[in-house]
Structure 1
């Protein structure tokens, strides 16, 4: 005896049909989720996109999305191929001596973007945002809510200060790698850190 009725469905499938819900994980499941995420973020923006909506677009259970990605922010970073997640960036900025926060942020941004593989996705998004209002809104929502506001809250400063700091550093990155303005384009990272960190510190300091 096999323990299964001869005329019954296979064990675990009471009605003989595949159960709806979570799609079994496969080599391509993560890719399907990321494709759905890119489409959903582009259509709805970062704020209005939801894990449930992305899961529905990908045809998987939301629990499977959480299996691959810890948060919506993490999924956005992976979908857009960004080089760093807010969960690692923000603690790096706000931890340590307050008087060195400008130096930490400046060194991180300039060191990270010195690597072409980290820099290229960021610059590609920036170029697209310059000509695509929907993409600009999506990036603005992500940067504002996932990074800038959280840094401002952690440092207990007005958001305009974090916006000014990041804007100046991003402008330096654009001049260095897109416009290739000399000698800015070829100067050593540490020399730039020494030059820029005091100004970035002033933006992020709550005393001035």
Structure 2
């Protein structure tokens, strides 16, 4: 696929600098824009102006704002894409599938190290906390909430997310045993039903009586 031609202008990078330089300029501009304005308020057009490139180039290198945001974080996985994969399977296995998918992709030393850096950034407060929170709210929690269709859908989604984040912090950041060394399948079988219950179960009901979607 041919590269979209850059429109030269004041401060715009020269075409001969190459795709790698242009992509890096966009990433630097995006990192600054997200830090200053947050995920919600940042726009691809504003990022293009800050990078000194035509907005078409941003779309050339990145699928959209979520893709660009994940690239600035160097995230080992896309939380919003995780949901797409999980929801392609049975709805009554959403919880277990979510846990298994996350852990299988983070049980790589490089991926785990990067996720720990991101978690520390989020928990440390400041601009990083705000922009990641807004990203998760728009791209992940809203989609999780839509699954239940209940009046308390937002709370259900946040409780399910809290379970997943807690598991990641315990396994990869704190490395608490035996969770840190437990097999993925074991954790998926144990934690998955809890996530499923938060999303679909009835408050006050037994955990082993998790309601399937539509029941």
From 72, 86, 90, the equivalent of 1:93 is 86
Deviation at 1:19, TM superposition (A): 5.0
Q: Is the 8 A contact 2:82 2:98 kept in 1?
A: no
Residues 19 and 108 of structure 1: is their aligned pair in 2 closer, same or farther, counting only changes over 3 Å?
closer
In the alignment, structure 1 residue 185 sits paired with structure 2 residue 180: yes
In structure 1, distance between residues paired with 2:74 and 2:55: 21
CA displacement 1:153-184 (0-9 Å, x = unmatched): 24534022121112112111211222221211
TM-score normalized with structure 1 length: 0.83
1:87 and 1:101 map into 2 onto residues whose CA distance is: 14
- Equivalent residue runs for 1:75-86 within 5 Å: 75-86=68-79
Q: Separation in 2 of the partners of 1:45 and 1:149?
A: 17
Answer whether contact 1:103 1:201 (CA < 8 A) is retained.
yes
Residue equivalent to 2:108: 115
Q: Runs of 4 or more off by more than 6 Å in structure 1? A: none
Specify every segment of 5 or more residues in structure 1 that has no aligned partner in the other structure, as ranges: 1-17
Assess, with a 3 A threshold, how the Cα gap between structure 1 residues 85 and 175 changes in structure 2: closer, same or farther: closer
| Residue segments in structure 2 that go unaligned for 5+ positions in a row | 1-6, 203-210
TM-score, normalization: structure 2? Answer: 0.81
Which deviates further from its counterpart, 179-188 or 82-91? 82-91
Which of residues 44, 54, 67 in structure 2 aligns to 1:74? 67
- Tell me the equivalent position of 2:35: 42
Provide the residue aligned with 1:15 in structure 2: none
Describe the SS at the equivalent of 1:28.
Answer: helix
Shift of 1:96: 2.0
In structure 2, the CA distance between the partners of 1:199 and 1:28, relative to structure 1 (3 Å rule), is same
Give runs of aligned pairs for residues 186-205 of structure 1, distance below 5 A: 186-205=181-200
Offset, 1:45: 0.7
Residue of structure 2 in register with 1:169 after alignment: 164
Contact 1:94 1:151 survives alignment (8 Å): no
Greater C-alpha radius of gyration: 1
- Return the alpha-carbon distance in structure 2 between the equivalents of residues 162 and 96 of structure 1: 19
CA contact (8 A) 2:29 2:51 kept: yes
Of stretches 121-130 and 154-163 in structure 1, the one that deviates more from structure 2 is 154-163
| Whole-angstrom distance in 2 between the partners of 1:131 and 1:88 | 25
